[in-house]
Amino acid sequence: MRVTALRVLGVDPGLTRCGLGAVEGRPGAPLSLVAVGVVRTPADDDIGPRLVAIEAGIEQWLDEVRPDAVAVERVFAQHNVRTVMGTAQAAAVAIVCAARRGLPVALHTPSEVKAAITGNGNADKKQVGAMVTRLLRLEAMPRPADAADALALAICHVWRGGVQNRLAEALAQARSGRTVQSGTGQSKGARR
C-alpha cells in the first residue's frame, strides 16, 4: 500500500490563546514543520467578537496551510470547569471552519496525544514540548505551550489518524447526500 504524506493542522483550542501548528509527514518517516503560531483574543472582549476573531484567524491559517485534515483537542466537561466552556466554544469554531471546507476533522484527547508523542499519557507539557522539538528537528521549543501542543496534536494525527482518516473521509462523502453540509461545504476537488 502506498502511503502519501499527510499535511495536518493541529488546533489547541482556547479563547485567550488558540494554538495552531501544521506538520507534514507519514507514519515511519521524518516529519516536517509547516507552520506554528497562536491566535489571541483580548480577555476583556465579549464572547461574540472573540469567537469571530478566532474564526478569522483559523480561516487565514486554512487558506495559507491548505491542510488535508484538521486535528482538534477533544474537550471534556469534567476538566477546568472555569475555562472549559470557552475552550469548547473555540473548538466548535475550529471544527466548523474545517468541516465547511469538507476537510476531515479528528478529535484527540490530551492523553492520546501525550501517549503518541512521548509514550506516556500523563507526560507534562515540558516533556511534550521537548519531543515535538526533537521530532521536527527544531532549534528551540515552540512557544507558547499552546503552539507546541497544537504541533503535538498534528503529529499524533499523522501517526494515528492516517488510515482512519481516509476511511472517515470516504464515509463522509458517501453520506453527504443527506446532510445540509452538502449544500454549503466545498468538495475536496473544488478546493484545489
> What is the x/- site pattern for its own copies, positions 9-48, by CB under 8 A?
--------------------------------xx--xxxx
Binding site annotation covers 146? yes
Is residue 179 helix, strand or coil?
coil
Give me the least distance between CB of 33 and its own copies, in Å please.
25
Q: Which of 22, 91, 136, 156 binds its own copies (CB under 8 A)?
A: 91
Report in angstroms the alpha-carbon separations of 91 from 3, 43, 49, 134, 136: 29, 17, 15, 27, 25
Which set of grid coordinates corresponds to residue 174?
458517501
DSSP annotation string for 40-73: E--TTS-HHHHHHHHHHHHHHHHHHH--SEEEEE
Instruction: With both helix axes pointing from N to C terminus, report the angle between 81-100 and 47-65 in degrees, rounded to the nearest 10.
Output: 40
Task: Sketch the per residue contact string, 172 through 191, with its own copies: x for CB under 8 A, - otherwise.
Answer: x--x--xxxx-xxx------
Would you count residue 71 as binding its own copies (CB under 8 A)? Answer: no
CB of residue 184 to its own copies, shortest distance in Å: 5
Under rule CB under 8 A, residue 76 binds its own copies: yes
**Neighbour count for residue 32 (Cβ, 10 Å):** 13
Is 65 a binder of its own copies (CB under 8 A)?
Answer: no
Residue among 12, 64, 68, 169 flagged as catalytic: 12
CA dihedral 115, 121, 127, 131 (to 10 degrees): 0
Active-site annotation holder among 55, 146, 149, 169: 146
Binding residues vs its own copies (CB under 8 A)? 41-42, 45-49, 51-53, 55-57, 75-78, 81, 84-85, 88-93, 95-96, 98-100, 104-105, 107, 168, 172, 175, 178-181, 183-185
